[in-house]
Amino acid sequence: MHMDLIIKVLHITGLLPALRAHFAGAQEAPQEFTQGAIRPGSPGVYVWSDPRGAVLYIGCAVCLSARIRDQEGWVDQYVPAERWTLSVIHMFKEHQAQVSWVETADHEEALELERRLIEWHRAETGVAPPAVGWECKPGSRRERAQLWAQDLWRRVQKVEGRIP
């Protein structure tokens, strides 16, 4: 049985005060998040949001172009009935998520901006963005629990006739 739970999440524009405060005083400071081409090798922070702009995930990368290309590929290829992948990818696919980003001077700044944006989201809504889960290392308790949940999900979907 599915139940609706309403949680407050920010629209991506709700992150702009924190983004602008982080870059205050910097030359050529970004005023918003970008979509489109990324310079190869640029570090930065990326935000996955649903088509309405509701923030689902905030992350950072040493190389935005490689990280976003990988994640977009995982989302594009993901078919839940055939192969369950990380719960983050499942959420992105289910919510037709799109990605936006901002470049930073280096990875250290990206790490700091990522934490600041997550904490800004928490300050504004009471919770972090809803998608979490990249740290599913092989052999970890998290991975074992995820594999168990994936198997159960497939079995329930089959019983309910949602997948063959």
Within this chain, do residues 87 and 143 fall inside the same structural domain, yes or no? no
Within this chain, do residues 94 and 145 fall inside the same structural domain, yes or no? no
pLDDT digits (tens, 9 = 90+) for 93-149: 989 999 999 999 999 999 999 999 999 998 999 888 988 655 556 677 767 776 777
- Domain limits for position 141: 136-164
Structurally, the chain folds into a number of domains equal to: 2
Within this chain, do residues 147 and 115 fall inside the same structural domain, yes or no? no
Q: What is the pLDDT of residue 97?
A: 95
Within this chain, do residues 74 and 151 fall inside the same structural domain, yes or no? no
C-alpha–C-alpha distance, residues 53 and 73, integer Å: 21
Tokens 């992948």 -> residue = 85
CB 22 within 8 A of CB 116: yes
In a domain, 72, yes or no: yes
C-alpha–C-alpha distance, residues 60 and 49, integer Å: 15
C-alpha–C-alpha distance, residues 42 and 39, integer Å: 6
**Helices marked H in the chain — which ranges?**
16-22, 64-77, 87-94, 107-125, 141-159
Tokens 């998290």 -> residue = 142
Q: What is the pTM of this model?
A: 0.79
Within this chain, do residues 63 and 144 fall inside the same structural domain, yes or no? no
Could you tell me the two tokens for 58?
Answer: 């905030």
For residues 66-76, average pLDDT? 91
* 82 has pLDDT over 90: no
